[in-house]
Structure 1
């Protein structure tokens, strides 16, 4: 029957007696559920338009910002045998404190008096070097004296040659005069002979003129002999000059040869001395290397070699030290498609392992238990698995990081980017698109390109 009447029979009937009518009534909890579903859908629809903070997620660990403050292995410079340990694990040490004492294992360094004996050899070589230097000075003086004597000798011979030239000229003039006198005497004798033959002169006069001719001839011969002797002396002086030069040049050459040999020995001795000084310095430094010392203040983390009497090689790590300086940072690894969106100075939210936190990556202001950071370094090459490393330092404008953080602790980070609606972020996530670059970073990139 159609329900076309305005009169209702439900109020007149006893519903509790009619099972059919009782079954057709809508349950009360169904209405409540429908209202909740409608409310939730409306809330979800509104949430779709709520601003969402885009972020780049990365995983990493706590480290030190400066490499010198990161954990380091102390290595031994020389090979040796462990004699004793001066520290224990967990102990705080100062720079220069002795960590370990080792002894020598190379036979060339076994001599306990090696250092003083090397010092004696070094002093002996220095004395030898001084003696050779004095010999060089003596040879230089000897060469100078020989050159001075040669100069004086040549000057003396030169004066003799000048004297001999003058004497040669004088003798040649006297010889020419006697030749003229002889020619005059010869002519006088010839005239006297003609007069005698004509009977105008006596035999006595002729003999007297002949005697004068003979005397003139004798004088001419004497002057000629004297002239030739002077000429011979001039030649002897030239030979004497060559002899003197040859004698002194031979002495000077020998002295210069000795000087060169002595200088060569001196240079070799200087090289040997430098080598011995180097060996002596190396021995002194090596002696200090028997004591392995702390490079800086810090805590002994772990002994890498423990046994007394155990031998170690050069460059072996013996202990790990954690520097006491605190410049904590977090190294995070982000995907390659996200690294281009990061910039130095970008804000980061960090969650440390061991600290309870409730993180809302899209609403950082609602996060609880996270700490603020600032991107300081972005690597130019990938580090591991195609991901890039970024170094994050504490944000000075945020709450300080926990003081008991340990290097090596795990950390999760969210680098904050632009704000977008929730629906856009869901759409981006479903399509696998990268986040948007911040407006400030985009403008700085454009300005840099224009410049």
Structure 2
């Protein structure tokens, strides 16, 4: 600087002030300066101490499996409370009766409803057996009709054969008669000739003439027989058609009766199935009057009370806490911390009501915390604006207290990277997330 400006003034010493001179003359002022300097040096040194970054969360004690959590027992059907078999705090085994309710729907109030339905089922089954017997009888009738038809047709075909043979026989007889006519005519003509020559008497001529007339009459009779035989053949053929038509009608009627019986049988079977379904439903409904424990546990709270009160189907009756369960902790973390945690990561847990001394940045010197392992991370945000994380006990560390109650509060601490304290203060002041940290898995060579 050229020191040209008039604004530049020489620096003034603090010693010109009376109060400063008074303090400098005091001994404890020098001691105070040393203390301030020492504390400042110590504070600066502490800024370089290691600090373990972490993700803190708060939650409650729960169970690892859904079927081990407290549950409510509902009434499957509507009814009226008649009798209680338990009270709050009682231990019940699986299948023990908790409550008895009575029926309130008019469709099921018949005390003999199950037995009456069973009787209906038995009656319908008997009807099915009767229809089966009827169908069997009609099938036997059809077989008998078919056998009789075959015999009748065989008899008719035999008559046709007989008619053919009779026609053939009559035809031969007719041919023989014509031959006899020729012979009689020849003999008659010869007798006339011999009579005219005087070699035969007139009586011989008359005999030959009579024989000729008899032969002509025999031809007419034989032709009549032949026509009769042909007519018998036609009648035999007509009889076959009549037999077929008659037995076709009988078969059709029997088959119609059979199909009607089968239809009634199938309809009755359908009614039997429906009644059996109703019978099973009524039997099951009778068992539902006794509300039983789904698993062994303790009765926590009776949600319904009194005698004579009505409950609707699906109404919760009591809550039960299972006797055997695997304990776990459900905690909630901020969305900004969710990418920093993963399944299998180790966390520290401490419970409400248990003495603890926790140093979040120095977990090694904390007291009263227990080890845990993340087993599930919810991918959908909860109503409280955080993500739910499920933590199970770490098998490699000390067991969690047996006296823990489901629902009691718990605090969690997920350990991340180790950084200096000054870096952590700078991160918090700037609102940056913790460093991403993932536990490295040593290879086999590195382990050796």
Q: Tell me, in whole angstroms, the C-alpha distance in 2 between the residues paired with 1:112 and 1:97.
A: 24
Alignment partner of 1:248: what SS?
Answer: helix
Q: Which piece of structure 1 moves more, 74-83 or 103-112?
A: 103-112
Deviations 1:358-384 (A, max 9, x none): 222222212222221100112233333
Determine the C-alpha separation between the residues in 2 that align with 1:191 and 1:429. 163
1:431 equivalent to 2:430? Answer yes
Q: Does 1:342 align with 2:344?
A: no
2:71 corresponds to = 72
- How far residue 213 of structure 1 moved from its aligned partner, in angstroms, is 2.8
In the TM superposition, residue 396 of structure 1 has moved relative to its aligned partner by 1.3
Q: 1:45 to 1:157 in 2, by over 3 A?
A: farther
Query: How do 1:109-120 and structure 2 match up within 5 A?
Result: 109-120=108-119
Closer, same or farther: CA 32–198 of 1 in aligned 2, 3 Å: farther
Report the alpha carbon displacement of residue 198 of structure 1 after superposing the two structures with TM: 9.0
Residues 343 and 441, structure 1, Cα contact 8 Å, conserved in 2: no
CA distance in 1, matches of 2:303, 2:158: 92
How far apart in 2 are the matches of 1:267 and 1:21? 119
Q: 1:21 to 1:357 in 2, by over 3 A?
A: closer
Gaps of 5+ in 2: 1-17, 444-448
Give the structure 2 partner of residue 261 of structure 1.
260
CA shift, 1:103, in A, is: 1.0
Secondary structure in 1 matching 2:252: helix
**SS of 2:340's equivalent?**
coil
Q: Output one character per residue of 1:316-335: Cα deviation in whole Å (capped at 9) or x when no partner.
A: 10101111112011111222
Unaligned runs of 5+ residues in structure 1 are: 1-18, 445-451
The aligned counterpart of 2:403 is 404
Partner of 2:365: 366
How far 1:422 moved relative to its partner?
2.8
Alignment of 1:91-106 (within 5 A): 91-106=90-105
**Partners of 1:330 and 1:315 in 2: CA distance:** 30
Shift of the alpha carbon at 1:191?
7.0
Distance 1:222 1:37, change over 3 A: farther
Q: Deviations over 1:312-358 (max 9, x none)?
A: 00111010111111201111122233223222210111122222322
Report which stretch shifted further, 146-155 or 308-317: 146-155
- Give the Cα–Cα distance (whole angstroms) in 1 for the partners of residues 205 and 418 of structure 2: 159
Aligned equivalents of 1:276, 1:154: Cα separation in 2 = 50
Distance 1:189 1:45 in 2: 176
Q: Map 1:42-441 onto structure 2 (within 5 A).
A: 42-183=41-182, 185-186=184-185, 204=203, 206-440=205-439
Secondary structure of the equivalent of 1:340?
A: helix
> Alpha carbons of 1:202 and 1:83: their partners in 2 closer, same or farther (altered >3 Å)?
same
| 1:216 CA displacement | 2.3
- Measure, in 2, the Cα distance between the counterparts of 1:216 and 1:86: 122
Q: 1:232-251: per-residue Cα shift (whole Å, max 9, x none)?
A: 11111112112222222222
How many aligned positions are there?
Answer: 426
Distance 2:387 2:377 in 1: 8
Deviation at 1:197, TM superposition (A): 8.0
| In 1, Cα distance between equivalents of 2:120 and 2:20 | 125
RMSD, aligned CA = 2.8
Q: Do the aligned residues in 1 keep the contact of 2:47 with 2:421 (CA within 8 Å)?
A: yes
Residues 197 and 429 (structure 1), Cα distance of their counterparts in 2 relative to 1, 3 Å cut: farther
Distance 1:218 1:392, change over 3 A: same
After TM superposition, give the deviation of residue 196 of structure 1 in Å: 7.4
User: After alignment, is 120-129 or 398-407 more displaced?
Assistant: 120-129
The Cα of 1:104 is off from its aligned counterpart by 1.0
Matches within 5 A, 1:21-36: 23=22, 25-36=24-35
